[in-house]
Structure 1
Amino acid sequence: MTLTIAIEPPRTPGIEELLRLGDEFTFSLYPPESCYLLDVGELERPGVTVFVGRDAAGSALGMAALIERPDRTAELKRMFVHEDARGQGLASALMDRLEAAASEAGVQTIQLETGPLQHAAIALYEKRGYTRIPNFGPYVGDQFSVCYAKPLAAAAAAH
């Protein structure tokens, strides 16, 4: 499968469908108060970059968002790959592009939150060098949240 990864505005065709499917998946696993999902309006805020993976026909098959913070950290949000595209390397391609853009922007550490039942996501993050950290921000005290972080060596060395 030929895939392209690009930065796109969050209201580009196909993205809202990925958000809807991601919401359905998350709400099927966890109680609503433990679902920290950004909506399309929140993805349009300054400092948020949305990465979208599309097939050769232009269908949106996966996405991830990066929220940059003033302290040179960032948070990965809304990582989702359509069920039909799983197991084909799209999640890794999205992460490659997101981490490269974060490094270029001077981000030193990427943090993320996922749920303990999302075994494929946890395996992906750990394989990519993310390590478990104490829950941070709104996730503190939530039994359905597990948090990870990864320092970006290139960013740390360049700044």
Structure 2
Amino acid sequence: MNALLHEFYGEMIPMVARASGPDVPIAAAVQDFWDHVDDFLPPRGCLCIARTPDGRAVGCGSLSEIDPHVGELKRLYVRDAMRGTGLGRALVDRRIDAARAMGLRTLLVDTISINTPMQRLYDSIGFRRIDAFAQSSTLRAFPDLHDTMVFYRMDL
């Protein structure tokens, strides 16, 4: 999981910086994930790791309950070699299923406005764009990113 997180943040942090956000050290971002890993584990969350048949980790995504009946999707990442295979969508679908099993009624997600592949994915799955949501873990950590982000909601 650490390798996936390093790759994920290695892509996202420069994207955030290009959108005028802070340049956070990758190691600090990975440590923050592990400091809060309980938020992504049952019963309050779900951590999905996609693996090849030989066990190689090739993608991940997390879900956490942020309010009663409301969940937030975070850290969707698919390694380059697996992009375009439907794995990203499968990771979102798996977390939607987990959210339903947890009794959640709403899913929220955010992304950087320049991350157009992520926006196309959420649009295609049926998420709808909304104004910023107060529970966004990204905005809580980096409120100055507000104007560079896109927010989505899906009612389950």
Quickly name the TM-score band, shorter chain normalised.
0.7 to 0.9
2:145 pairs with 1:148? no
The structural deviation recorded for 1:33 is 3.2
Amino acid at match of 2:34: V
Q: CA RMSD in A?
A: 1.9
Secondary structure of 1:30's counterpart equals: helix
Q: 2: CA distance between counterparts of 1:97 and 1:82? A: 17
Runs of 4 or more off by more than 3 Å in structure 1? 32-35
The structural deviation recorded for 1:42 is 1.4
2:14 pairs with 1:33? no
Q: Which residue of 53, 61, 64 corresponds with 1:64?
A: 61
Q: What percent identity do the matched residue pairs reach? A: 26
Unaligned runs of 5+ in 2: none
The structural deviation recorded for 1:105 is 1.1
Judge which range, 24-33 or 68-77, deviates more.
Answer: 24-33
The structural deviation recorded for 1:93 is 1.0
TM-score (norm 1): 0.79
**Matched residues, number:** 137
- The answer as to whether partners of 2:14 and 2:23 remain within 8 angstroms in 1 is no
Q: Which residue of 86, 100, 104 corresponds with 1:107?
A: 104
Report what 2:49 is aligned to. 52
The structural deviation recorded for 1:68 is 0.9
2:37 pairs with 1:43? yes
Amino acid at match of 1:121: M
Report what 2:83 is aligned to. 86
Amino acid at match of 1:18: L
The structural deviation recorded for 1:34 is 8.2
After superposition, the C-alpha distances for 1:49-81 in whole angstroms (9 at most, x for unaligned) are: 201110111111111100113420000011111
Unaligned runs of 5+ in 1: 1-14, 153-159
Secondary structure of 2:55's counterpart equals: coil
Q: Which residue of 100, 106, 119 corresponds with 1:122?
A: 119
Say which structure is richer in helix. 2
- The answer as to whether partners of 1:112 and 1:149 remain within 8 angstroms in 2 is yes
TM-score (norm 2): 0.80
